[in-house]
Amino acid sequence: MGAFTGEVTALPPDKSISHRAALIGALSEGVTEITNFSAGFDNQSTLGVLRDAGIVVEQEEIIGAYGRNIRKVVIRSKGLWSFMAPEKPFMCNNSGSTMRMFAGILAAQPFESQLVGDSSLMKRPMKRIAEPLRMMGARIGLSSDGTAPVSICGTKDLKPIEYCLPVPSAQVKSLVAFAALHADGESRIIEPIRSRDHTELMLGLETIDHSDGARVIVIQGRQPLEARPFYIPSDPSAACFIVALGLLGNGSEIIIRDVCLNPTRVEFIPVLTAAGADITIENSRIIGGETIGDILVRSTPGMKPLVISDKVVVAGVIDELPMLAVLSAFSSGEFELHNAEELRTKESDRIDAVVVNLERFGFECEQYPDGFRVIGRRSMPSGEVTIECFDDHRIAMSFFVAFRATGEPAVLSDSGVVGVSFPNFFDIIDSLES
């Protein structure tokens, strides 16, 4: 097992906040400047659909903190109804965030449009976005399987809505909020289980917290948005891979700078510290409504196995679950997960993808509809293991971290898929290896 030491200052900008900053900029009146925008494929897909809708989008590289090149995006728009009918379907590529959240905007535009994606995205469920938009008065068409293409006949006469989210989903919450900005009246979104709250923070929406943990988000329709600047902090979901590397690598000590520490995004940290992980937070501060700070991680042999079943916790670590599962398996030999059926509808069936690859490493697993269990390791692989990435960046990175930290011989079936969210992933890991 190798040691990984050093300072990470070039973690990718946060994907979720980048998507929302671009979409909110397109809905605002004036010039929106976004500093440290993500270069990942998914976020570039969001900029692409905005350009195709007639929004002026400019990008350039500037010198940012620590002397590194960062991306600045400038968006020029005239407000809520600045979008133009497209000449062809909007291509979202692999980005479910782009497809789902942009649908909320298109539902309020007085023209017909269609959203499509790559072969993976075209298989992902879209019924959950159609229901609330139909309730508001838009006409939404899906395939017979409830998937893309998403056909939208928008209207400027959207009705306000009170909508209770059937499952925790920041994407669905955001698309309803974006549509509700155009509606003639006050809309309310009821969220029984909290999901990431960037949209509420960035739009400055009124929120009401109930004693049972539920939250109500209030949106006043047809109020003009004034353009304002955004700064995108480092992606905590990307930081999770570096944290896992530090925990697994014997003798490692890594500090990760300027990470978004929004409580709805870093649930993986208390999950890991409860299992004994040596993780501390330094230099915490607030920029643009988001908590930002540095994460210090040291190698931690003898971590307790992770058991994750609480629905609130599952919602808080949904993107990090593949890495948490792989980390727990390689550090303790065990892992258990329940109430995570949402993982089956991501870029891949992540429950099956993790189990398939763990079994290639000799782990014994049991799979359930809503999760799986790693019972232990029955054998060591006899030769080099090929990790099947399933066209999924998080599966690829989770297993790469494990075999790089432990020194076990393995190779990825498709290393290029990491560019979806973490283009410089391999460079950062190379720079940390002692």
Q: What is the pLDDT of residues 199-215, one digit of tens each?
A: 999 999 999 999 888 99
Residue 350 has a pLDDT of 98
Residue 64 has a pLDDT of 75
Distance CA(69)–CA(72), nearest Å, equals: 10
Ramachandran region of residue 302, left (φ > 0), alpha (ψ -120 to 50) or beta?
Answer: left
Q: Which residues contact 175 (CB under 8 A, 6 or more apart)?
A: 100, 101, 102, 103, 104, 129, 132, 133
The residues annotated with a catalytic role in the active site are 319
Q: What is the pLDDT of residues 56-78, one digit of tens each?
A: 999 998 887 777 888 999 999 99
Question: What confidence category does residue 357 fall into, taking pLDDT thresholds of 50, 70 and 90?
Answer: very high
DSSP 299-332: --TTPPPEEE--HHHHHHTTTTHHHHHHHHHHHH
The strand pairing partners of 290, in sequence order, are: 287
Return the closest-CA partner of residue 348 out of 321, 366, 373, 324: 321
Phi, psi of 23 (to 5 degrees): -70, -40
Burial environment of residue 3 by CB neighbours within 10 A (0 to 12, 13 to 18, 19 or more): middle
Return the closest-CA partner of residue 273 out of 288, 255, 295: 295
Return the closest-CA partner of residue 315 out of 169, 101, 209, 216: 169
SS (H, E, C) 383-415: CCEEECCCCCHHHHHHHHHHHHHHCCCEEECCH
Whether the per-residue pLDDT at 272 is higher than 90: the answer is yes
Whether the per-residue pLDDT at 420 is higher than 70: the answer is yes
**Rg (alpha carbons) of the chain, rounded to whole number:** 21
Element (H, E) at 91: strand 90-91
Whether the per-residue pLDDT at 312 is higher than 90: the answer is yes
Asked whether the beta carbons of 306 and 275 are under 8 A apart, the reply is yes
Distance CA(318)–CA(273), nearest Å, equals: 18
Q: What is the pLDDT of residues 333-346, one digit of tens each?
A: 999 999 999 999 99
The strand pairing partners of 31, in sequence order, are: 76
Return the closest-CA partner of residue 340 out of 361, 362, 367, 364: 367
Question: What confidence category does residue 325 fall into, taking pLDDT thresholds of 50, 70 and 90?
Answer: very high
pTM here is 0.90
Q: What is the arithmetic mean of pLDDT over 365-392?
A: 95
Residue 422 has a pLDDT of 93
Q: What is the pLDDT of residues 211-269, one digit of tens each?
A: 888 999 999 999 999 999 999 999 999 999 999 999 999 999 999 999 999 999 999 99
Q: Which residues contact 387 (CB under 8 A, 6 or more apart)?
A: 357, 360, 395, 396, 399, 400, 403, 410, 411, 412, 413
Domains of the chain: 15-217 (3.65.10.10), 235-432 (3.65.10.10)
- Which tokens hold the place of 34? 């976004």
Average pLDDT of the chain is: 96
Distance CA(324)–CA(328), nearest Å, equals: 6
Whether the per-residue pLDDT at 1 is higher than 70: the answer is no
Residue 288 has a pLDDT of 79
The verdict on whether omega for the bond into residue 149 sits within 30 degrees of 0, i.e. cis, is yes
Q: What is the arithmetic mean of pLDDT over 99-124?
A: 97
Distance CA(200)–CA(192), nearest Å, equals: 16
Q: What is the arithmetic mean of pLDDT over 401-428?
A: 94
- Which tokens hold the place of 389? 């990435």
The strand pairing partners of 386, in sequence order, are: 411
